[in-house]
Amino acid sequence: MSCCDERSCDCIVTAGPGVTVDGDGSTGAPYVIGAAGGGGGPTALTVTDSPTVDLTLTGAGTAVDPYNVTAEVIVDPAPPGGGTELLHAGPNGLSLECADVRGCFSAGDGAGYDPDTGVITARPSTDAGNGLSYGTDGGLLVPSAAALTVGCGLQGEGTAAAPLAAFPIAGEQPWADDWDCDAAANSTLKCDPDSGALWTPPEHTSAAVTLQQNHPIPAPTFTGTGGFVLVDADVWSEGRYTADSLTTCRGVSFSTAFTGHVEATWTSGAVFDLGYAVTIDGGGPAVRVMHSKLQAGGTAGHERWTVAVSQAAVLAAHTGYVVRVYPAINVVSGSVTLNQWITDTHLIAITR
């Protein structure tokens, strides 16, 4: 069927831009509509590279072999500044990792830098007197004078006007005001290099005691003893220092004094000696003579005498000491009765 059944036809086809129309719409010459050729052939496709992109064109631009445009990024292998290229082109695109750029940084004055971790920190000076430190929040801190806590033995505020100083209760005084010897060789105030603490030798201490013993002797009588004998092996007085009981640091000067009060009666012609048998640290006894009647008399006698014996020693630290005395008598002639024997014991211990 044609566009118009009659010769007179209102069906008109007009070509627009990019379109061609051929024929008059009749049965013998129907309209043929096509695309304008733009010069009579297909338009060519080209690609142009840039400094950072390399483009590649493949294909003929046909339905069977269409155009294919691909692009690769251009990474400069020799940067113009002379450094190392850090940008990487991989199968998933461009990449730049932290580790690649850590070697590009270095620490200047006042800063610290760890190229292994990339951590940048402030770097306070380690010089003596530097008050800069890190606060509890990690920030830099310089304590103010008001924040300075002054401990025992110190005074001042830590400022130029009131510097931190030792606090002697009696104030300042030159060594030479009291001593004419060398201060460095004789002063006892020292500083421990390990802890920085000041120290002086341990305090001196002393102890003293006096006790009296009325020895329980039942008025024994002695004749011709042939030398000194003990009045009674169970009658004795003792001075003892137990190690470390006065001090755990210093040595000790230990002294003992035994004062005996003896009441004796003797027969006519008696000759005799009185003394104490002394033992030290459990050793053998050694008699110390304290009173003697050396000449035989024509009559008997009855008297009281006071006698004394003492012992002293300088003991090293952690050392004990025991002095024990036993009443002793030596009767050469006649007989002697001991009615009473009292011993006063005096002990004194002083640290060295």
Q: Provide the whole-model pTM.
A: 0.56
**334 inside domain:** yes
Its domain, for residue 268, covers 206-351
User: Do the domain assignments include residue 42?
Assistant: no
The pLDDT value recorded for residue 146 is: 60
In a domain, 316, yes or no: yes
The reply to whether 161 falls in a domain is no
Instruction: Give the amino acid at 81.
Output: G
Flag whether 218 is in a domain: yes
Average of per-residue pLDDT across 166-172: 91
| CATH code of the domain containing 341 | 2.60.120
pLDDT at 204: 95
- Which range has the worst mean pLDDT, 148-152, 218-222, 239-243, 289-293? 148-152
Amino acid at 295: Q
Q: Identify the residue with better confidence: 119 or 328.
A: 328
Provide DSSP, 236-303.
-EEEEE-TTSS-SSS-EEEEEEEEEEEEEEE-TT-EEEEEEEEEETT---EEEEEEEE-S--SS-EEE
Number of domains in the chain: 2
- Cβ(244)–Cβ(289) under 8 Å? no
User: Is residue 8's pLDDT more than 80?
Assistant: no
- What pLDDT shows up at residue 35? 65
What are the beta bridge partners of residue 39?
none
Residues contacting residue 94 through CB under 8 Å, at least 6 positions apart: 73, 87, 88
State mean pLDDT over 171-177.
Answer: 93
Q: Is the pLDDT of residue 209 over 80?
A: yes
For residue 111, tell me if it sits in a domain: no
- For 43-79, the pLDDT digits (tens) are 678 889 888 888 898 888 787 888 888 888 888 888 8
The three-state secondary structure class of 43 is coil
- Of 141-155, 170-184, 287-301, 318-332, give the lowest mean pLDDT range: 141-155
How far apart (Å, rounded) are the C-alpha atoms in residues 229 and 274?
10
